[in-house]
Amino acid sequence: MSESFVIIGDGVAGSSAAETIRERAPEADVTVVTDEGEALYNRILIKEFAKGKLPEAPISIHDESWYDERDIDLQLNTLVTGVDVDGHVVHTHEGDDLEYDKLLVATGGTPTQLPVENSDSEGIHHFWTFEDARHIREHAEDADEGAIVGAGLLGIDLAAICAAQDIDAKYLMRGDRWWRYALSEDGAEIIHDALAEKGIEPVFDSGASRFETDDDGHVVATIGGNGERYESDFVGVAIGLNFNVEFLQDTDVEMDDGIVVDEYMRTGAEDVFAAGDITQFYDTIRDTRAQNGSWGSAKQQGSVAGHAMVADDVEDSVDEFRWVSSYSITHFDFPFLSFGFPTDGDEHVERKYSETEWRRLAFEDGKLIGGVLIGNLAPQSKYKQLIRGEADVADQSDVLLQENFELEELDVDL
């Protein structure tokens, strides 16, 4: 009998695992289950749709025929509610049971709601799915005043959507700057100025303490942590993710703010793998457990998982997950890129080159582990090479911070 593989989640991690399994096991039964009503789309691009700058079509990656052609059974609108790990069965909300030989959990996260009064009111948006983007776009086209909460990579997308849709918005941040764990005041100032230029006013030491609504339950104002009242008929909240693991609660799959996996995406439970945003994976570069929320990393984890799921001898035949992630922002006149783990590290160096060019590098035990580039992304591949090579370069930061440098200028063996 052919082996059966069930994948929960049709995001980029689940989908790339399905593709890998099909390529390597032409006879296998492959089922992909998703609670969304549509097949894989480009989550990175839904912000451009919400801005009103892209139509729906180019955002889709796979239509249903892609699965048919590969004989992959795609089950849309199907929520997984439980897994019997010993019995190798997945339970769905409609009472169906799917038996598996190998299971992949690639369910990502769901945006966290602010734990404050009226945070579930109409007009308050969280942003993860294409469906969210449709609601945001529809509402944003009619909204006048906005408030954004969450000074990170997703919050700034919501701010950029307000700008593109001519919403007069305040961007409420808890600290004294945007993405304060990765950027210094100098770097953040470039972002604040760029936001202001687009009509988005950053408000510091604030956040949201509650929302006011009208008689219909629609948000009308945001009360900042500073006590100020901001008129806002459109609110965007992006304060983090809750990982989608409820259906594993009664199992012995190890969880620790995500699902713990090794470098081959194996959980400790027999025949259960996990990939994508949801994992606490083993980072073979830093030799530590790590977590990452980015498209490229999720895709690569899906592909490693798919390979490991079909392999007879995983250690001998599968390349372990070894990846330097990056995440770019394209809302401004200048490019922005973060790579590796810019919020970690025990030593940081930075330099400002011009009004829109800045760089910060993070080191750990003398090795480069991540950074942020604003304005000039040219050195990114060299930095990534140094990270992958685990090069001891912290004492050569004068070279690393030159506007342009060659790897040959460094005293390293790669």
Ligand X SMILES: Cc1cc2nc3c(=O)[nH]c(=O)nc-3n(C[C@H](O)[C@H](O)[C@H](O)COP(=O)(O)OP(=O)(O)OC[C@H]3O[C@@H](n4cnc5c(N)ncnc54)[C@H](O)[C@@H]3O)c2cc1C
Binding site for ligand X (CB under 6 A): 8-14, 33-36, 43-44, 46-47, 79-80, 106-108, 127-128, 154, 157, 244, 247, 276-277, 293-296, 298, 327-328
In the complex, least distance from residue 316 CB atom to ligand X, rounded to whole angstroms: 27
- Both structure tokens of 248: 């594993």
Residues contacting 129, CB < 8 A, separation 6+:
36, 43, 46
Is the Cβ–Cβ distance between 236 and 148 less than 8 Å? yes
Q: Tokens 């693991």 correspond to what residue?
A: 245
Shortest distance (Å) from residue 328 CB to ligand X: 6
The residue among 118 and 165 lying less far from ligand X, judged by its C-beta, is: 165
Q: At its nearest, how many Å lie between ligand X and the CB of residue 16?
A: 8
- Residue 289, judged by CB atoms within 10 A of its CB (0-12, 13-18, 19+), counts as middle
Nearer to ligand X, 80 or 308 (CB): 80
Of 44 and 410, nearer to ligand X (C-beta) is 44
For CA atoms 364, 370, 376, 379, the dihedral sign is positive
- Our CB check for ligand X shows the closer of 75 and 376 to be 75
Q: How far is the CB of 266 from ligand X (least distance, A)?
A: 17
Q: Closer to ligand X at the Cβ: 127 or 363?
A: 127
What does the block give as tokens for 187?
A: 């770097």
Minimum CB–partner distance for residue 13 and ligand X (Å)? 3
Q: Which is nearer to ligand X, 135 or 351 (CB)?
A: 135
**Spatial separation of the C-alpha atoms in residues 397 and 244, rounded to whole Å:** 40
Contact of 62 with 39, CB cutoff 8 Å: yes
Residue 259 or 369 with smaller CB distance to ligand X: 259
Interacting residues of 82 by C-beta distance below 8 A, sequence separation 6+: 90, 91, 247, 250
CA dihedral of residues 4, 87, 92, 21 (deg, nearest 10):
-20
Distances (CA, A) of 234 to 18, 133, 159, 216: 38, 14, 11, 15
Instruction: For the CB of residue 198, give the shortest distance to ligand X in the complex, in Å.
Output: 18
Shortest Cβ 293–ligand X spacing (Å): 4
Kindly tell me which of 100 and 247 has the beta carbon lying closer to ligand X. Answer: 247
* Secondary structure (3-state) at 231: strand
The distance of closest approach from Cβ of residue 339 to ligand X in the complex, given in angstroms and rounded to an integer, is: 10
**Residue in the block written with tokens 């609108």:** 77
Cα 144 to Cα 140: distance, rounded to the nearest angstrom: 8
